[in-house]
Amino acid sequence: MKKCISIFLLLLAELTYGQTVHSVTVSVGQGAGCPVVASIEHSPYFEVFPNPATATFTIQTDLEHAHFRLMDLHGRTLKNDQILSRRQEVNIDGLPRGVYILHLHNEKTSDRIKIRIK
Residue 114 identity: K
The CATH classification number of 9-117 equals 2.60.40.3080
pTM above 0.85, yes or no: no
Q: Is the pLDDT of residue 89 over 90?
A: yes
Average pLDDT for residues 114-118, to the nearest whole number? 93
Express each pLDDT in 45-72 by its tens digit: 788 999 999 999 999 988 889 999 999 9
